[in-house]
Amino acid sequence: MNKKSFGSRVVAAPYIVWAAIFIIVPLLIMAYFAFTDANGVFSLENFTQIGRFKKAFGLSIFYAIIATIITLLLSYPMAYYMTKLKISSQRMIMMLIMLPMWMNFLIRTYSWITILANTGLINKFLDFLGIGRLQLINTPGAVILGMVYDFIPYMILPIYTAMSKIDNSLLEAASDLGSNSLSRIRRVIMPLSLPGVISGITMVFVPSVSTFYISQKLGGNKDMLIGDAIEYLFNTGPHYYNIASTLSLILMILILICTLIMNRFSDDEEAVVV
C-alpha cells in the first residue's frame, strides 16, 4: 500500500479526485447539514424530529424486504435454468436481461403506468374479456412490482455468475456419490452459489429501501417512503435541508448495517459485490 509506484499514483489520481469531489465532499456537506440548524449552528435538534418519519422508514424497509424476497424467488430458478443452456443461449438471455437497464430508470417506471393504469393495457384487455377493471395502479402491489422489475437484473447477474463458476466435475462427483438432481442442488449448487445470492440481496435491497419516484408514480403517493420524504423535503425549501440530511444520514447508516450483516453470511473471502 505505502510503496506505490509513481505510475500507479498517476493512474489512480483522476479516480481519487473524482471520489473526493463527488463522494467525500457531498457526504461531509450532508453531515454538516444533519448536525446544524437552519442558521448553521451546531444542533442535534434534527435527530429529535425523526420520530415523525417512523412510518416512512418502516414502510420502506417492509417494501424493500418483500421486493427482495420476490426478486430472489424469481431470479434463483432463472439463473439455474440459464446455466443449463447452451453458451449461445445463455448470452442471448443475458442480453435480454441487460437490455432494459440501458433505458432510463424513470422511463421504465413510467411505462408501467401505461400498463397498470385504470385505462391501461391490462384493464383494457380485462374490459374486452368482460371481466371488468381492477385497481392496479396506486396500490402497494404496483410499488413492489416496480421495484422487482427495476432491480431484478442485479439479482440474476450475481447468482448466475456464481452458478456458472461451479465446476461441472463437482456435480458429477456429487452424482457419483449418490446424489440425484434435487440433492445436487441442495448439497452443492445452493451452498456454492450463496455468495452470489448474498451479493444479489444486497444489490436489490439497498436501492429498494432508498427508492423514491417508483412509489410516487406507481403507488399514487398514498404511502410515503423514506426516499420520497427526503426528496419532498429537499424540494420544499432550504430550511428543510437539515432534516432531509439527517434522514439521509440515518438511511445510509441503516443500509451500511444491513450490508455488513449480509456480508457476514458469506464466508467467501473474495469480494462479494460482482
Partner 1 sequence: MENQKNIIELKDIFVSFGEEKVLDGLNLSIHDKEFITLLGPSGCGKTTTLRIIGGFLDADCGEVVFEDKIINGVPSYKRQVNTIFQRYALFPHLNVYENVAFGLRVKKLKENEIKDIVTDMLHLVNLDGFEKRSISTLSGGQQQRVAIARAIANKPKVLLLDEPLAALDLKLRKDMQKELRRIQRQLGITFVFVTHDQEEALTMSDRVVVMNKGKIQQIGTPQDIYNEPQNAFVADFIGESNILDGVMKKDYVAEFSGHIFDCLDKGFDENESVDVVVRPEDVDIVSVDKGMLKGTVTSVDFLGVHYEIIVDIGGFKWMIQTTDECFVGDNVGLYIEPDAIHIMKKSEYSGLYGDYSTYSEEMDHLSDIEPEDDDE
Interface ranges with partner 1 (CB under 8 A)? 167, 169-170, 172-180, 183, 187-188, 191-192
Q: Got the DSSP string for 11-38?
A: HHHHHHHHHIIIIIHHHHHHHHHHTB-T
Nearer to partner 1, 5 or 169 (CB): 169
Nearer to partner 1, 30 or 171 (CB): 171
Cβ of residue 161: shortest distance to partner 1, in angstroms? 16
Nearer to partner 1, 43 or 175 (CB): 175
The amino acid present at 205, given as its one-letter code, is: F
- Cα dihedral: 18, 23, 24, 26 (round 10): 120
The number of beta carbons lying within 10 Å of the beta carbon of residue 272 is 21
Q: Do the beta carbons of residue 241 and residue 33 sit within 8 Å? A: yes
Nearer to partner 1, 127 or 167 (CB): 167
Q: Pick from 96, 93, 70, 68: which is nearest to 80 by CA?
A: 93
- Beta bridge partners, 36, equal 42
Cβ of residue 89: shortest distance to partner 1, in angstroms? 18
Cβ of residue 170: shortest distance to partner 1, in angstroms? 5
Q: Pick from 51, 48, 54: which is nearest to 225 by CA?
A: 54
Cβ of residue 249: shortest distance to partner 1, in angstroms? 38
Cβ of residue 157: shortest distance to partner 1, in angstroms? 21
Nearer to partner 1, 89 or 183 (CB): 183
Q: d(Cα 179, Cα 172) in Å, to the nearest integer?
A: 9
